[in-house]
A and B are shown apart, each in its own frame.
Chain A
């Protein structure tokens, strides 16, 4: 299965600032996904990152707040913009490396907003 490198692994940020999270995969993948996991909760899909086109956002998530880049088939970034304490969560990158059977996750970015 694909190996994902996600960074930073954790960060503490000031309210009102932005943080960009990077996701690097060791092989080319068609689809990359960004999830949020709020404290003690399950995973919620933020958006699907498409190479060569805009990301597809889930209900409740907007591009202005969570801009995503996907410059090639092995890399994506998620930015959490104008952060507030409610954005404190774990953000996870995931890839579908084998046509639906190889959903792998990065180790996540633990974000705390103060």
Chain B
């Protein structure tokens, strides 16, 4: 079955430490890939996206993500976390060649806590 998985429900990191949030997908062909961030009580903000080409994608707020076809992964990284990065992070996919409407499917999310 087609799916997108975020294995970590909750992650705690110290301010200034590096961060990696995992995302794995299971689709017949490589889907289009996105990372969104949602602060408490807020809407979703797009951090970055991958459609094709360079497998290392740069986004806003110092985030980057690397697409690895062999591992069906699209992990989000940041070298040094700031307290303001505390939020919920969603990986999302749109299947390629989905026909009809291009439906966005979200992973279950990873809640990031940043400690001083």
- The answer to whether A and B belong to the same complex is no
